[in-house]
Amino acid sequence: MAEDYHYDTPDINDDGSEKVHYDNPDFQLFCRRNFNPANSCFPGMTIHWHSDLEFIYVFEGETSYQLNGRRVLMKAGEGIFVNSNQLHLIVSENSDCRLYCIIFHPTILCSSKYIEEKFVAPIITDESIPYLMLSATVDWQNEILQYQRKLYELSVSENREPEMMQTLFALWTVLYKNLDLSENRERYDGSLNIVRRMLRFVHDNYKQKITLNDLCRAGGVGKTCCSELFRKYVSCSAIEYVINYRITKSVELLLNTDMSVTEIALESGFSGGSFYAETFRKKLGISPQEFRKKGKI
C-alpha cells in the first residue's frame, strides 16, 4: 500500500478550528498511512484544533505530539486518542516514523439521539479526557490500535463505508467500556477556551499588525496571563505564534501562486520582503525561493 509523505496547509473554519477534508465529503472520515522522515520540517502545520476525534497508531519508529502544551512521545506499538477541540501538533523525532492517522467527526457515530447522549457526548464533553495514550501491551488498547489499522485498510477498498461504520462502532465501544467516566478527574478552568479565542484572533487578523495588547483583548486577559497561557498551551510566546502562523500562510502562497516573495510577504502580514525572507530562513533553514523550488521538504 502506498504511503503518504506530505503536509497540507490548514484550512480554517469561521470559529478558528481546522477544517478536516474527509476522504469522501459525504462520509466524515479521514484515513492515512503516513511516513514521517526523521527531523523533517512541516512548515504548513501549526498547532491547531478541530471538533473531530483523532486516533494515531505508530507501528514503526517514533514521533511525538504537542498537546495542550504537553509533549508526549509515541514509540512503535503505541498511539494516542485525541479528544474533540484539543490543541495539538505532531512533531517529528530523531527517527523515521510510520503511522496510521484516523480522524472522524463524532456525529458519524450518532445514529440516534439516544446513542449520542448515552455513548458519545459523555466522552467528547469530558474535560478530564483531553487525550489517552494507547499501548499494544494493553489488550483493550491494542484492540483499538488494530481497529485503526483495519480502518485504513478498508479505506483503500471499494464500497467500504458500511464495514468502516461497523469498525468505527467497534472501536468506540471498546473505548467507552474502558474509560472511567464516573467523575471529573481534573477541574477545568476555561483556559483552553481563552487560548482558542486568541488563536482565532490571529487567524482572522494575521495580515494586519498584531500586538500583545490585541491578543489580551481577544482573550479578555492581562499581559502576564496571556503570555503564560501561550507558553503553557502553545509552547511559544504569543508574538512567536503570530510569526509562525504568518509563515504557514505564506507557504500556501509559495506553493500555489506565482506571486513574488515581496508580494507574499505583504499578503502574509510581514512588513517587507527582506524581513520575511530572513525570518523564513531562520525558521526553516531555507530561503522562500529555495522552498518554492523544492515544492516540499
Any idea where the domains of the chain sit in the sequence?
29-178, 191-294
Q: For the chain, what percent of residues have pLDDT higher than 70?
A: 89
Single-letter residue type at 181: L
Instruction: Cell numbers for 58, please give them.
Output: 505508530
**Mean pLDDT score of the chain:** 88
Q: What is the pLDDT of residue 7?
A: 46
pTM, two decimal places? 0.80
Instruction: Cell numbers for 196, please give them.
Output: 482558542
Does the pLDDT at position 273 exceed 60?
Answer: yes
Does the pLDDT at position 1 exceed 50?
Answer: no
Does the pLDDT at position 261 exceed 60?
Answer: yes
Pick the CATH number of 29-178 from 1.10.730.10, 2.60.40.1110, 1.10.3720.10, 2.60.120.280: 2.60.120.280
- Lowest mean pLDDT segment, chosen from 32-36, 72-76, 135-139: 32-36
Q: What is the pLDDT of residue 2?
A: 43
Q: Which residues contact 88 (CB under 8 A, 6 or more apart)?
A: 47, 48, 49, 54, 65, 66, 67, 68, 82, 131
Residue pLDDT, tens place only, 14-67:
666 778 889 999 999 999 998 888 766 554 467 888 999 999 999 999 998 888
Q: Which residue has the cell 500583545?
A: 212
Q: What is the pLDDT of residue 272?
A: 93
Question: CATH second-level architecture of 191-294?
Answer: Orthogonal Bundle (1.10)
How far apart are alpha carbons 101 and 115 in whole angstroms?
Answer: 25
